[in-house]
Amino acid sequence: MALEKPYKDVPGTTIFDAEQSRKGYHLNQFCVSLMKPENRARFKANERAYLDEWPMSEEQKQAVLARDLNWCIRLGGNIYFLARIGATDGKSFQQMAGSMTGMSEEEYRDMMVAGGRPVEGNRYTHEWEKQ
């Protein structure tokens, strides 16, 4: 019998559960390695060569090279781990979060200052499908 996962019915959201964690293990552990300054320097010097040291899938490597965080998350990445890539690039958490929303950095910042994204219309997947 399948486990109940009600959180699959929340739009624009991927819950990092045991299944996602299994898929993203090497991707996330690559991110952990960027906590060391010497690894950050080696990654910046040659991203592709550094990624090739990890048993990640080719698609995971492409997602990292593209800095497409939504893509990384689909492939098992978790935002707290992926944040190490942003830190290496000198990006703030707000810049990283905003990059996943399709908004510009300024639009996202303005939305947060104005009180954030409202919950109305953002609770269930079907609410986004109607749009």
Partner 1 sequence: MARITASVYSSHVPAIGVAVDQGRTGEPYWQKMFAGFEFSKQWMKDNTPDVVFLVYNDHATAFSLEIIPTFAIGCAAEFRPADEGWGPRPVPAVKGHPELAAHIAQSVIMDDFDLTIVNRMDVDHGLTVPLSLMCGQPAAWPCPVIPFAVNVVQYPVPSGRRCFNLGRAIRKAVESYDAPLKVQVWGTGGMSHQLQGPRAGLINREWDNAFLDRLIADPAGLAQVPHIEYVREAGSEGIELVMWLIARGAMSDNLPKVAHRFYHVPASNTAVGHLILENQ
Positions that interact with partner 1 (CB under 8 A): 6-7, 10-18, 21, 25, 28-29, 31-32, 34-37, 40, 69-70, 73, 78-81, 83-84, 86-88, 92-94, 96-98, 100-102, 108, 111-113, 115-119, 122-124
**What is the smallest separation between the CB atom of 15 and partner 1, expressed in angstroms?**
5
**What is the smallest separation between the CB atom of 60 and partner 1, expressed in angstroms?**
14
Q: Is 15 exposed, middle or buried (0-12, 13-18, 19+ CB in 10 A)?
A: exposed
Minimum CB distance to partner 1 smaller for 58 or for 115:
115
Q: Residue length, the chain?
A: 131
Those residues with Cβ within 8 angstroms of residue 118's Cβ, 6 or more apart along the chain or in another chain: none
Those residues with Cβ within 8 angstroms of residue 72's Cβ, 6 or more apart along the chain or in another chain: 27, 60, 63, 64, 82
**What is the smallest separation between the CB atom of 59 and partner 1, expressed in angstroms?**
18
